[in-house]
Amino acid sequence: MPKDTAKEQKRATIYRMDMPGHTCPYGLKSVDLLKREGFEVDDNLLTSREETDAFKERHDVETTPQTWIGDERVGGYDDLQVHLGKKKPEEERSDTSYQPVIALFAVGAALAVAFTWFTFGTLLTWQTLAWFISISMVLLGLQKLKDIESFSTMFLNYDLLGKRWVRYSYAYPWIETGAGLLMTAMVWHWLSVPSALFIGTVGAASVFKAVYVDKRELKCACVGGDSKVPLGFVSLTENLMMVAMAIWMGWRALI
């Protein structure tokens, strides 16, 4: 292939909003992606609402940014990602994702190791596992609390106690977060242990019935109401971890 042809194929033209009160983030992402992929970018700024509306009308598009590679109009940022192989087309994308859970547990594990290093001067002890569970409880509770209304709606799809007492769906995130904090601090076992044992047992029974007995395909409310995590192993693990933590801390308090 002639060099000038190859160079022409690596040129892109983009039109994006960059007005005094608003810079389009998808436009910035598009330019960044094109440059990282080795394109020479002809970056055209739409600096007023009138200019933006005129551009949309002229090219019969509803949104900006709009990118051209050669003579082909690729479209917006999502379309550009698909065109460059960075993202699957919408019809091929899965409706489920474990990414939020993986990120949350990874941070929980890192924090547990950091606590262990600070306290004992070593990376791993049995206390590291306990802190991992209690910190994960706090992080999971926080995810639910950021939009408790949305969480409660999803939670009521499967929780056995929530279906009978709706207010429990609003109390659950606070109980989980509070128990996790107390267990991390290793104080007030008389409150944290029964709290975690109760919600963990009810939660595990609810998930087991919904998924493995009733064979329902639901989204898990474990990381909040906007979750794409399927109900099943992750939520069951969350609840069983709370039960195990409660039993272990209760046993330690007795000896």
For residue 242, give the amino acid letter. Answer: M
How far is 181 from 224, CA to CA, in rounded Å? Answer: 19
Structure-derived torsion over alpha carbons of residues 53, 57, 62, 66, reported in degrees to the nearest 10: -90
Residues 103 and 75: their CA atoms lie apart, in Å, by 31
pLDDT of residue 90: 73
Tell me the per-residue pLDDT of 100-112, one tens digit each, with 9 for 90 and over: 889 999 999 999 9
N-terminal to C-terminal alpha carbon distance within the chain: 78
Which of 60-64, 67-71, 86-90, 208-212 is the least confident region? 86-90
Same domain, residue pair 173 and 155: yes
45, 63, 91 — which closes off a domain?
A: 91
Q: Which of 74, 91, 108 is the last residue of a domain?
A: 91
Owning domain of residue 15: 11-91
Residues 130 and 214 in one domain: yes
Q: Is 66 helix (H, G, I), strand (E, B) or coil?
A: strand
Spatial distance between the Cα atoms of 23 and 209, rounded to a whole number of angstroms: 49
The Cβ-side half-sphere exposure at 101, using a 13 Å CA radius, reads 20
CB 98 within 8 A of CB 228: no
Beta bridge partners of 13: 42, 68
Is the pLDDT confidence value at 98 over 90? no
Which of the two residues, 52 and 227, has the higher pLDDT score?
52
Last residue of a domain, one of 56, 91, 126: 91
Q: Are both 112 and 194 inside the same structural domain? A: yes
One domain, residues 68 and 120: no
Residue 3: what pLDDT?
46
Instruction: For 164-215, write each residue's pLDDT tens digit.
Output: 999 999 999 999 999 999 999 999 999 999 999 999 999 999 999 999 999 9
Residue 87 and residue 115 in one domain? no
Statement: residue 243 has pLDDT above 70: yes
**CA–CA dist 77, 65 (Å, integer):** 7
Assigned domain for 4 exists: no
**Total of domains in the chain:** 2
Within-domain flag for 1: no
